[in-house]
Chains A and B, each alone.
Chain A
Amino acid sequence: DVKVTQSSRYLVKRTGEKVFLECVQDMDHENMFWYRQDPGLGLRLIYFSYDVKMKEKGDIPEGYSVSREKKERFSLILESASTNQTSMYLCASSQGTAWGTQYFGPGTRLLVL
């Protein structure tokens, strides 16, 4: 079975802090994604990556950056956390084209105070 893990289930940070969210997949997938999920807005794509050191902006990249130094790991970085970044963050991976089935991690619920 594909396994996507996220470093934390719950995280509480203060405004202005730099926040790192880590995602690791164990199936040698080429594509990895970061979404945020908010009530009434659904899932929105922040960034995605096709390969190591490659990244593409999604629909809401502002205030975020990403890093993919190894194929299995995709990190989401909040450079200076703000209260409007309080959300559920979901990581996903897929093989081949990005149109294939995406496998999701359990999510990280981030609260920024």
Chain B
Amino acid sequence: KQEVTQIPAALSVPEGENLVLNCSFTDSAIYNLQWFRQDPGKGLTSLLLIQSSQREQTSGRLNASLDKSSGRSTLYIAASQPGDSATYLCAVSLYNTDKLIFGTGTRLQVFP
């Protein structure tokens, strides 16, 4: 059974720091991996989607990498800002299913 783990569960950093959020999964037979952002009490916003054949995706200050063989993905946030404060979730989709399996998220706080 696929399990998705995110470490750390919470992170507090000063503005301007570069930071890395981690996601690991137990079954490497994935179709893709997605990173989402969730603001308190709100829905999820898709940030990046990495296909299984790709190694990384970039969008602005965000860079996500994927190492399928080791079952890991990282989300790198450059020059963090208070507006980046949110919960970040990763999710994987498996071959031959139509489901996303979500991690429990990393709650990020960036203070001025």
Partner of A103, one of B32, B46, B102: B46
The number of chain A residues touching the other chain, given as a range, is: 20 to 34
Contact B43 A99 (CB under 8 A): no
A19 at the interface (CB under 8 A from B): no
Interface size class of B (residues with CB under 8 A): 20 to 34
- How many A-B pairs with Cβ below 8 Å? 55
Q: Does B104 lie within 8 Å of A107, measured CB to CB?
A: no
B42:A106 contact, CB within 8 angstroms? yes
Shortest C-beta distance, A108 to chain B (Å), equals 10
Please indicate the chain B residues that have their CB under 8 angstroms from the CB of A43 in the complex: 44, 89, 91, 100, 102
Report if B34 contacts A (CB, 8 A).
yes
Interface residues of B (CB under 8 A from A): 31-32, 34, 36, 41-46, 49, 89, 91, 93, 98-100, 102-105
Residues of A participating in the B interface, judged by any CB pair closer than 8 Å: 4, 31, 40-45, 48, 50, 56, 58-59, 90, 92, 97-107, 109
